[in-house]
Amino acid sequence: MNIIELIQDGVIRAVKSLYGADIGAGDITMNSTRKEFEGDFTVVTFPFTRIARKKPDEIAEEMGRFLSREASYIQRYNVIKGFLNLSLSDAFWREFLADIYRNEKYGQQPPNGHKVLVEFSSPNTNKPLHLGHIRNILLGWSASRILEAAGYEVYKVQVINDRGIAICKSMLAWEKYADGATPASTGIKSDHFVGDYYVLFEQKFRAEYKAWQQSDDARALLREWLASKEAVKAEKEQAQKREKAQKELGAKAANGEVVTLNEADFTLETYFFKSFKDTYFNKYSTLGAEARAMLRRWEEGDAATVALWQRMNNWVYEGFNETYDKLGVSFDKLYYESQTYLLGKDMIERGLAEGIFYRKDDGSTWADLTDAKLDHKALLRSDGTSLYITQDLGTAHLRYQDFGVEKMVYVVADEQNYHFQALFEALKRLKEPYADGLYHLAYGMVDLPTGKMKSREGTVVDADDLIAEVVEEARLNSYERDTLAGLTTEEQQAIVNQIGLAALKFFIIKVHPRKRMTFDPKESVDLQGQTGPYVQNAYVRVQSVLRKGGEQALEAASAYEQLEAQERELLSQLYALPELVQTAAAEYDPSTIANYCYDLAKAFHRFYHDYSILNADTEAAKAFRLQLSQAVANALKLGMNLLGIEMPERM
RNA sequence: GGCCCCGUAGCUCAGCGGAUAGAGCAGCUGCCUUCUAAGCAGCUGGCCGCAGGUUCGAGUCCUGCCGGGGUCACCA
């Protein structure tokens, strides 16, 4: 029995003995005592008023008297209104600390024999990784680590979208304009190199489109559309958009920014050509035709095309791996869409045979999910080719065959919530054995202080740039402080990396995944306050004390009486760690771990400031505080590692 | 319009149905001859979007409304 269960048991006995009623542990409201009151745990006595027919404070008083008499682990109690604050005995805390301070695994659960797969990152291969991917990667990695700590055997995978029209655009642009240039010949990081050709394609295409807009064909189409009733609707929409833009403008102007409305954005012509872009690409564009031809050749297995595809994708992978290395993440297995996109058809056939799915007259296959409050979902095109969900069904099944996992977690942005609901529902209806263990770890988009990231407007924050920036900031700070003197350049660089990445990672992970977040680059490189480096600093302070203290015989701690309130506070926080890890795993929520680490670091910084460890009044106090510091450092290291953040020994 | 998510201090975010709603940043003020000041302490700052309801007790649960976002493809 842990202490919480012991107290609950005591309360149950108290209620029985004092009021003659039987209650269960679930009837007891208990939390850790707020900092401003004395005590470790608090029992709320309001709920017992009906049973006891007494006032809450009387109940608390009677219960407190009972517990301090009957339960040896209770040292003192006090009553404030209906709250019974219990202080555990010094002996209890001493033994708890002696138990854990050497245990670097404290907080982790032993293996539970269950397997879980986590999919994250899963980028397209036409562009380098950006800030949105970083949130995805950090959440996925952290969720994986947390599940491991909760006892699961975890498999980390990604699905790489290596096929389709996007990569063909890069390929085509490279073929047409690169003149044989390579990442090696240009010295450009290889994924950026490929991304540059994607951007180049878009530029050339846009120029082509713009020129075409003046053609007779285009003018005729525009005239025709202007006469349609769609244009009437569009007119209203554009007017609304203009109004909204004007309002935002007003706000900016009040801030002293000088901005003007671009009237051309709100004309019907602009609207038409914007909405016509895809049609133009597919029906009129020369470049579009060439890109689609390339896609067709790829699908037919044309050797030269496949070779180019292979070559460019490899460049991208090489670049991605560099970024993953910098972020300190890795995967157990990669799935490539080019190899999985045909999977799933058999499952759909089976579903069709079993009457779970149905086929429309036009030959397309559908799932009717309306009774699950979802819609009808298309599973196969009328020509029998597969869709995104077709592949997802197949990939899920394949992964089950590969790893035999009972659970699968998909770390994917929340814009795909509906897709995953439909996918999970379809898998459930197919009676897949893992169907009840599916979870979509959905996260909100990352905005900038200036608004949404838009690739068209060049406001996308590049992952590599961002990492370099936070590390550089850490380097400048460290240089100013001059605390790393005596270390080699490599050692210093390693520490500066750890600090910069801690700032970035902590800044992103501390926000609850579900929430859309604003990423302020300026704040993300902050090294003070509620940040990763703040937590690291608490750990480093402990290491410094331990170094100065040398080898200590810590048995004297058993003679330490009268723990200080701040020591109890730290112990109480340490006590909460194992359950916190399990909750974080059950809820797939790394942000709680980040907040815990911050709270613990904060409490330690205060303790460190207010009390001397090495110069404590007695040998017992010194030994006890060394144990306590060690335990705090272990907990911080474990917690931060669950977030994918490394701890330096000095900083 | 239907469904889903969000709304807490000037800004970014915490907050298990329980006590006087908390941090950080920003602003102002103190503390380094003492274990690393990437630290500590103090001040300033709140109709927890609004309105009802459930409850001994609601920022937290329920309903409605308002505001923001997402999504409603034989795209991914």
The confidence score (pLDDT) of residue A455 equals 81
Residues A338, A162: contact at Cβ < 8 Å?
A: yes
Check residues 420 to 449 of chain A and report those whose beta carbon is under 7 Å from nucleic acid strand B: 444-445
- Start-to-end C-alpha separation, chain A: 41
The confidence score (pLDDT) of residue A243 equals 72
The torsion angle over the Cα atoms of residues A129, A132, A134 and A135, rounded to 10 degrees, is: -160
Residues A425, A432: contact at Cβ < 8 Å?
A: no
| DSSP for residue A386 | B
A162's tokens: 């290596």
Q: What is the CATH number of domain A463-642?
A: 1.10.730.10
Check residues 460 to 479 of chain A and report those whose beta carbon is under 7 Å from nucleic acid strand B: 474, 477-478
Identify, with chain letter, the residue nearest to nucleotide B69 (CA–C1'): A516
Q: Which residue in A417, A413, A411 sits closest to A447, CA to CA?
A: A413
The confidence score (pLDDT) of residue A435 equals 95
Residues A326, A468: contact at Cβ < 8 Å?
A: no
DSSP-based three-state secondary structure for A351: helix
The confidence score (pLDDT) of residue A266 equals 80
Closest nucleotide to residue A414 (Cα to C1')?
B70
Check residues 41 to 70 of chain A and report those whose beta carbon is under 7 Å from nucleic acid strand B: 42, 44, 46-47
Closest nucleotide to residue A56 (Cα to C1')?
B56
CA of A577 to C1' of B58 (A): 28
Closest nucleotide to residue A33 (Cα to C1')?
B19
Closest nucleotide to residue A601 (Cα to C1')?
B39
Strand B bases within 7 angstroms of protein beta carbons = 3-7, 11-20, 23-26, 34-41, 56-57, 68-76
Identify, with chain letter, the residue nearest to nucleotide B26 (CA–C1'): A523
| DSSP for residue A563 | -
Check residues 103 to 142 of chain A and report those whose beta carbon is under 7 Å from nucleic acid strand B: 124
Closest nucleotide to residue A452 (Cα to C1')?
B69
The confidence score (pLDDT) of residue A248 equals 65
Burial A268-306 (b: 16+ CB within 10 A, else e): beebbbeebeeebbeebbebbebbbebbebbeeeeeebe
The confidence score (pLDDT) of residue A250 equals 64
Residues A291, A165: contact at Cβ < 8 Å?
A: yes
For chain A, residues classed under CATH 1.10.730.10 are 463-642
Check residues 532 to 591 of chain A and report those whose beta carbon is under 7 Å from nucleic acid strand B: 533-534, 537, 540-541, 543-545, 548, 591
Residues of chain A scoring pLDDT < 50: none
Predicted complex: ipTM over 0.85: yes
For chain A, residues classed under CATH 3.30.1360.70 are 3-88
Which residue do the tokens 């990152």 mark?
A121
C-alpha dihedral sign at A43, A48, A54, A55: positive
H-run or E-run covering A449 = none
Q: What is the CATH number of domain A3-88?
A: 3.30.1360.70
Check residues 483 to 502 of chain A and report those whose beta carbon is under 7 Å from nucleic acid strand B: 483, 499
Q: Is the CB of A358 under 7 A from strand B?
A: no
Q: Which residue in A611, A631, A632, A630 sits closest to A621, CA to CA?
A: A611
